[in-house]
């Protein structure tokens, strides 16, 4: 079995790919029987698998060292090549949708296949090619800007991930200083950050209008493969505002009392216990050994999966200079492998990577072993995040391996963190809806909207006199807002599914795991609501869903004896 470092990267031969694609489209157009169409669909999937694998490989290696000139050039190649492939992909899609064998396609592959094709077609146009290239370029500029952060902090050179670890430091002065440095870094790039976002909003608005929409939002929904409407998202946000916001204020007040401060400041929010949050008891090797034991004990499927991740070195976990910030999981379908990227900083967040990103990777491998087509490997992100967030809960019983006697403390903080995340998550979504509905707003007006939303969703938020943050700048470090418009609500919708799994695993763990596995294996072969039904999960858009989903977490928090933590 090849290791990650041995995976051979080769820039795809675009001319050859185009020839293959036209040949496939032609064979669909001229098909005398369905078997020719079926073969062409498998041929397309094979081509997709090859290109996706190389693209993910270039992307992974680029993010590990954004200064590496070779992969920087390869990333630039893909950023241009994919938009430019639009006419070829559209021709293939047109051949499929106009085929006289569409009924047979539905019967053989499920209705989701052509449904996805039609949806993608409506978001694609040769008119958008140059805009998409520009959009990719601006998003990369933003990522590079954030990755360029290098500040001196008590003799240590830190990037943004490194600074974030001080949000959990027991010394309040250090927490404040780290928050000020983060804010200071953003402020020193304020004009660039404002300018990049302004360009992105205006560019995306033009793209939406080129396709005949009033603004970017409908196109944004199509590009995310949405099956729900903006009105449903709005009603969901209101449920969060009325149910979770008051609950979270109670939790924050309690936290202030617990850590002994009069008023919780922004740099106290992640600090939950007077003697500090639970920290993993060892470094990377310790964590990997603990995770390996955990996944072997959890189930035979997870054991096999994680052993493979370790043996093939499919994880780049430690923070390094010139590494992109954040964490993600990606897949290399040709190698039957997934890859986890993160910036370990010694906090409990490192364990979250080994559960959350591993949840994504596990789902990708399960779907890869079950699904025949690359198109069916991944569902929309509102389901993919259920894979990852539920794994965070399925692994709760093993937290002693990472935190020793502090495991209960970790579990408490994790549940608390999951609940208070949701108001922030929907707020990011509402912000983007406002921004794209009003594309002519100035950067200052956008920031004023953010401040208004903070009053609605995060009334506890206190920046302690930091004028830059008080002016509504916090979102400028949230890379989804720049690079992945309308993504963020997925985390909050998926939270509801993960919360539900959490409740169900306390009642009947075996059943819950069976449904989780079925959900992972189904990949993206079914529409959103059918995937939820398959896993016996509720529809988060139904009235009362937020309160019901959160109830088991609230009960779990109450059952934990805080004084003993
Ligand atoms: Zn995720």
Centroid of ligand 1 to alpha carbon of 88 (angstroms):
31
Centroid of ligand 1 to alpha carbon of 451 (angstroms):
26
Q: Write the burial class of residue 459 (CB in 10 Å: 0-12 exposed, 13-18 middle, 19+ buried).
A: middle
User: What's the CA gap between 165 and 181, in Å, rounded?
Assistant: 13
Centroid of ligand 1 to alpha carbon of 519 (angstroms):
15
Centroid of ligand 1 to alpha carbon of 30 (angstroms):
42
pLDDT attached to residue 319: 85
Averaged over 361-388, what is the pLDDT? 96
Span 277-312, pLDDT tens digits: 899 999 999 999 999 999 999 999 999 999 999 999
pLDDT above 90 coverage of the chain, percent: 92
Centroid of ligand 1 to alpha carbon of 60 (angstroms):
16
User: What's the CA gap between 362 and 517, in Å, rounded?
Assistant: 10
Centroid of ligand 1 to alpha carbon of 342 (angstroms):
12
Nearest to 549 by CA among 559, 557, 533, 538: 538
CB atoms closer than 10 angstroms to residue 562: 16
Centroid of ligand 1 to alpha carbon of 387 (angstroms):
8
Nearest to 14 by CA among 59, 74, 56: 74
Centroid of ligand 1 to alpha carbon of 555 (angstroms):
25
Centroid of ligand 1 to alpha carbon of 499 (angstroms):
15
CB atoms closer than 10 angstroms to residue 193: 21
Centroid of ligand 1 to alpha carbon of 27 (angstroms):
38
Span 145-188, pLDDT tens digits: 998 888 999 998 888 888 888 998 999 999 999 999 999 999 99
DSSP secondary structure string, 249-286?
HHHHHHHHHHHT-SS--GGGTT--STT-----SS-HHH
Query: Which tokens in the block code for residue 481?
Result: 């807002």
Centroid of ligand 1 to alpha carbon of 142 (angstroms):
20
Q: Assess whether pLDDT exceeds 90 at residue 321.
A: no
Averaged over 380-401, what is the pLDDT? 97
Q: Assess whether pLDDT exceeds 90 at residue 565.
A: no
Give 143 or 482, the one with higher predicted confidence.
Answer: 482
pLDDT attached to residue 326: 83
Centroid of ligand 1 to alpha carbon of 77 (angstroms):
26
Centroid of ligand 1 to alpha carbon of 327 (angstroms):
9
| Buried b or exposed e, range 142-161, using 16+ CB within 10 angstroms | bbebbbebebeeeeeebbbb
pLDDT attached to residue 265: 97
Centroid of ligand 1 to alpha carbon of 330 (angstroms):
10
pTM of the predicted model as reported, rounded to 2 decimal places: 0.94
Centroid of ligand 1 to alpha carbon of 61 (angstroms):
19
Averaged over 25-46, what is the pLDDT? 98
Span 422-468, pLDDT tens digits: 999 999 999 999 999 999 999 999 999 999 999 999 999 999 999 99
Q: How many residues does the chain have?
A: 565
Q: Assess whether pLDDT exceeds 90 at residue 1.
A: no
pLDDT attached to residue 294: 98
Centroid of ligand 1 to alpha carbon of 106 (angstroms):
30
- Distance from the first to the final alpha carbon of the chain: 44
Backbone angles phi, psi at 514, to 5 degrees: -60, -45
User: What's the CA gap between 509 and 555, in Å, rounded?
Assistant: 17
Averaged over 495-516, what is the pLDDT? 97
Nearest to 59 by CA among 77, 46, 45: 77
Q: Assess whether pLDDT exceeds 90 at residue 480.
A: yes
Average pLDDT in the chain? 95
533, HSE (Cβ side, Cα atoms, 13 Å): 5
Span 189-247, pLDDT tens digits: 999 999 999 999 999 999 999 999 999 999 999 999 898 999 999 999 999 999 999 99
Averaged over 32-50, what is the pLDDT? 98
pLDDT attached to residue 384: 97
pLDDT attached to residue 137: 95
Centroid of ligand 1 to alpha carbon of 386 (angstroms):
8
pLDDT attached to residue 333: 96
Averaged over 113-118, what is the pLDDT? 96
Averaged over 513-535, what is the pLDDT? 97
Q: Which residue has the tokens 């990049």?
A: 196
Centroid of ligand 1 to alpha carbon of 495 (angstroms):
11
Q: How confident is the model at residue 407 (pLDDT cuts 50, 70, 90)?
A: very high
- Parallel, antiparallel, or unpaired for β 337-344 and 328-332? antiparallel
Centroid of ligand 1 to alpha carbon of 328 (angstroms):
7
Centroid of ligand 1 to alpha carbon of 40 (angstroms):
33
pLDDT attached to residue 47: 97
Q: Assess whether pLDDT exceeds 90 at residue 323.
A: no
Centroid of ligand 1 to alpha carbon of 37 (angstroms):
35
Q: Assess whether pLDDT exceeds 90 at residue 366.
A: yes
Centroid of ligand 1 to alpha carbon of 506 (angstroms):
23
Centroid of ligand 1 to alpha carbon of 384 (angstroms):
7
Centroid of ligand 1 to alpha carbon of 414 (angstroms):
15
Centroid of ligand 1 to alpha carbon of 334 (angstroms):
22
Centroid of ligand 1 to alpha carbon of 382 (angstroms):
10
Centroid of ligand 1 to alpha carbon of 236 (angstroms):
20
Q: How confident is the model at residue 389 (pLDDT cuts 50, 70, 90)?
A: very high
Q: How confident is the model at residue 420 (pLDDT cuts 50, 70, 90)?
A: very high
Query: Which tokens in the block code for residue 548?
Result: 């019901």
User: What's the CA gap between 4 and 330, in Å, rounded?
Assistant: 12
Q: Assess whether pLDDT exceeds 90 at residue 391.
A: yes
Centroid of ligand 1 to alpha carbon of 361 (angstroms):
10
Q: Assess whether pLDDT exceeds 90 at residue 563.
A: no
pLDDT attached to residue 246: 98
Centroid of ligand 1 to alpha carbon of 394 (angstroms):
15
pLDDT attached to residue 276: 87
User: What's the CA gap between 553 and 265, in Å, rounded?
Assistant: 25
Nearest to 382 by CA among 541, 235, 512: 541
Centroid of ligand 1 to alpha carbon of 390 (angstroms):
10
Span 51-82, pLDDT tens digits: 999 999 999 999 999 889 999 999 999 999 99
Backbone angles phi, psi at 512, to 5 degrees: -60, -45
Averaged over 528-556, what is the pLDDT? 96
Averaged over 415-422, what is the pLDDT? 96
Contact 11/77 with Cβ under 8 angstroms? Answer: yes
């Amino acid at each position: 079995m090849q290791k990650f470092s041995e995976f051979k990267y080769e820039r795809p031969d675009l001319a050859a790919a185009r020839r293959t694609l036209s040949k496939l489209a032609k064979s669909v157009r001229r098909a005398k029987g369905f078997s020719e169409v079926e073969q062409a669909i498998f041929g397309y999937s094979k081509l997709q698998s090859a290109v996706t694998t190389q693209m993910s490989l270039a992307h992974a290696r680029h993010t590990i060292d954004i200064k590496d000139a070779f992969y920087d050039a390869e990333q630039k190649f893909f950023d241009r090549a994919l938009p430019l492939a639009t006419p070829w992909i559209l021709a293939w899609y047109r051949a499929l949708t106009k085929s006289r064998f569409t009924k047979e396609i539905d019967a053989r592959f499920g209705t989701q296949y052509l449904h996805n094709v039609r949806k993608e077609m409506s978001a694609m146009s040769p008119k958008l090619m140059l805009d998409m290239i520009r959009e990719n370029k601006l998003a990369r500029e933003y990522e590079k800007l954030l990755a360029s952060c290098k500040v001196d902090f008590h003799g240590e050179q830190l990037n943004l991930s490194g600074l974030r670890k001080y949000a959990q430091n027991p010394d309040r002065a250090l927490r404040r200083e780290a928050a000020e440095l983060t804010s200071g870094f953003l402020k020193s790039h304020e004009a660039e950050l404002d300018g990049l976002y302004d360009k992105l909003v205006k560019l995306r608005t033009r793209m939406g209008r080129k396709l005949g929409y009033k603004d970017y939002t409908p196109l944004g929904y199509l590009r995310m493969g949405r099956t729900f409407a903006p009105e449903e998202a709005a009603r969901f946000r209101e449920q969060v505002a009325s149910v979770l916001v008051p609950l979270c204020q109670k939790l924050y007040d309690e936290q202030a009392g617990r850590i002994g401060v009069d008023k919780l400041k922004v740099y106290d929010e992640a600090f939950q216990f007077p003697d500090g949050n639970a920290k993993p008891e060892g470094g990377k090797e310790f964590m990997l050994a603990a995770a390996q034991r955990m996944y072997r004990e959890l189930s035979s499927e997870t054991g096999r999966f994680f052993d493979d991740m370790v043996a093939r070195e499919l994880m780049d976990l430690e923070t390094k200079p010139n590494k992109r910030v954040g964490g993600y999981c990606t897949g290399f379908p040709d190698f039957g492998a997934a890859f986890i990227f993160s910036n370990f900083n010694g906090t409990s967040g490192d364990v979250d990577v080994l559960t959350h990103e591993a949840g994504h990777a596990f789902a990708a491998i399960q779907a890869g072993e079950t699904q025949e087509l690359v198109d069916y490997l991944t569902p929309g992100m509102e389901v993919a995040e259920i894979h990852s967030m539920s794994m965070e809960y399925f692994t709760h019983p093993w937290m002693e391996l990472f935190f020793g006697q502090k495991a209960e403390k970790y579990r408490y903080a994790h549940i608390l963190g999951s609940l208070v995340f949701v108001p922030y998550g929907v707020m990011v979504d509402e912000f983007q809806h406002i921004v794209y509905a009003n594309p002519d707003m100035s950067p200052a007006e956008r920031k004023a909207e953010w401040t208004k939303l903070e009053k609605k969703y995060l009334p506890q938020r206190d920046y302690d006199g930091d004028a830059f943050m008080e002016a509504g700048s916090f979102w400028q470090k949230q890379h989804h807002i720049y690079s992945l418009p309308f993504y963020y609500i997925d985390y909050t919708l998926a939270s509801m599914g993960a919360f539900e799994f959490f409740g169900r695993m306390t009642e009947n763990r075996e059943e819950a795991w069976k449904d989780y596995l079925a959900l992972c294996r189904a990949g993206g072969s079914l529409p959103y609501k059918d995937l939820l039904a398959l896993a016996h999960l509720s529809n988060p858009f139904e009235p009362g869903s937020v309160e019901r989903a959160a109830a088991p977490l609230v009960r779990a928090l109450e059952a934990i004896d805080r004084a003993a933590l």
